[in-house]
Amino acid sequence: MTAPPAAISPTGLLNLDPTVVATARRLAARAAEPVVAMARAHTTVAVERATLRLAGITGADSTHRAGDVPWVNRVVDTVREHCGLEHGAVLPVFHALREHNLGTLTELAEATAAGQVRYTVPDGRDRDRAAKAGRTAVARGLRTVDRNRAQRDRLVGRLGDPKQRPWIYLIVATGDIDEDVVQAANAARAGADIIAVIRSTGQSLLDYVPEGATHHGFAGTYATQENFRIMRAALDEVSKEVGRYVRLTNYASGLCMPEIAVLAGLQRLDMMLNDSMYGILFRDINPVRTFVDQRFSRQVHARAGIIINTGEDNYLTTADAVDAAHTVTVSQLLNEHFAHEAGLPDHLLGLGHAFEINPTIPDSFRLELAHALLARELFPDAPLKWMPPTKHMTGDVFNGYLLDGFFNLAGVLTGQSILLVGMMTEAVVTPFLSDRDLALANVRYVLGAAGALAEDFRPAPDGLIVTRAKQVLGEAVDLLERIVDDGLLNAIADGTFGLMKRPADRGKGVDGVVEKADGYCNPASELLESGQSEEGATA
């Protein structure tokens, strides 16, 4: 998977103390260790559904009076009702498939809805047969993910990557997948390298993934497997037209994080929003549920070669961007460790940060440069995603356009990898196509006029930029020490990140968390951990 290097990677400009940097990473690992252990010891309804999606279950029950219910939800909910999920869904599902002499998981789902199946956890030879059948089915799904990764590499090799850096990331958000396709194609023609399809408002709180193409989202379009397929096919066509591979982004977050990660792998998405704490802080999703789901989803992303984008920029929309700058650095270090533990290498680790300092503060631009340069130097091999101003966009479109220009300039000066295009109408309306065109013109001007300015950028060794960056790193180390002592879950409960207090025993989706029993079986987790797609074969 090709990842976007910085245009000119500034290294050593801050003269960071390597001992302090090493201490920060060591503390982040210690803070994350109990959470990783907790994630390994639990499963969730979403992890079990994602596993069955890899095994091939698709479709929905359209006869339900409350609306379509995905077959995978019907099956997992019934398994849990009959025999629990402590041993995973695969054993009872594939035992029932054989016991009832059914040919497909869809037939099993239909029989389940009709009340014709009683799920049990098999033992002895029946257990071995169910585990083997489940592993074969899941491996088949992972081979599809592997083929999509290879297809991406072939297309990048044939069509090429964008010549300029950073990559230009643009959002579409109409609510109608067909209209999204029109906007995405036009954005790519105007210079966008990455198209992000914003999800419909509230989808992260749905404990199911809708089926089919959708045309009625709110401030965004529903993330569904069919919508993924439609947009990927459209961007493949426009990629041939513009002569470069145009990447597609969506959101693997919320209550269906693992499932959406699987669907992204099955439909060759290239990037996914996937943060370890965003759902906890900003959607009030249970912390345990989130950490279990994000570990599995990141294992899927690693297998699929999907670049993740983390959500540190969101902290600065609720907390002060100067006072809370060190919490962004702490979150980046934690996200890095969680990603590495799940198998994601640095070149797939799109850590987030943002241009959110109040522009009326003296030296605000210099402070932004300090924060951006600190992220770049701490994570030199990661494709950092740099977010535009939103908090201090007032509705004055002229001032907003100027702020976005400064944001673009900071991006090229500090070697950012992925530049999310800021919109001058951010605080007024959902941007029109004309607004996007003007925003892209702003980016093109800055890249053309100052794209190589980083060659000449050397902050004074004792100046504000260097001093501020070292101060933020020092404050991050201090906070990590406190988190190690108190525990990460307690730190989240106390409102350490984004001023949001989220206790570990509360939040949406808490009832979907299950502690694994001895003998828990999940071939997806086993194959993802081992890097295999089938017995004896590595991906």
CB distance 404 to 388 below 8 Å:
yes
Report whether 205 contacts 255 (CB < 8 A).
yes
Which candidate, 256, 300, 268, places its Cα nearest to that of 138? 300
Distance, CA of 310 to CA of 275 (rounded, Å): 4
Residues 6+ apart with CB under 8 A from 313: 352, 353, 354, 356, 387
Residues 319, 419: Cα–Cα separation, whole Å: 22
Could you tell me the two tokens for 437?
């065109």
HSE, CB side, 13 Å, CA atoms: give it for residue 13.
31
- Where in the sequence numbering do the catalytic residues fall? 278, 313, 385
Q: How many CB atoms lie within 10 A of CB 62?
A: 9
Residue 449 exposure: Cα atoms within 13 Å on the Cβ side? 10
In what helix (H) or strand (E) does residue 413 lie, and over which residues does it extend?
helix 397-413
- Rounded CA-CA distance 439/419 in Å is 12
| Positive/negative CA dihedral, 514, 516, 520, 525 | positive
Partners of 169 in the beta sheet?
A: 194, 420
The burial class, CB within 10 Å (0-12 / 13-18 / 19+), for 318 is middle
CA-to-CA separations, 43 to 37, 85, 293, in angstroms, rounded: 12, 8, 8
**Three state DSSP letters for 473-537:** HHHHHHHHHHHHHHCHHHHHHCCCCCCCCCCCCCCECHHHEEECCCCCCCHHHHHHHHCEEECCE
Residues in contact with 134: Cβ distance below 8 Å, sequence separation at least 6, in sequence order: 55, 90, 91, 93, 94, 521, 523
Alpha helices in 55-89 (DSSP H): 71-83
Contact 392, 426 (CB under 8 A): no
At 330, the amino acid letter reads V
Helices 523-530 + 287-304 axis angle, to 10: 50
Helix axes 45-54, 124-159, angle to 10 degrees: 70
Q: Which DSSP letter does residue 46 get?
A: H
Q: Supply φ then ψ for residue 448, to 5 degrees.
A: -70, -40
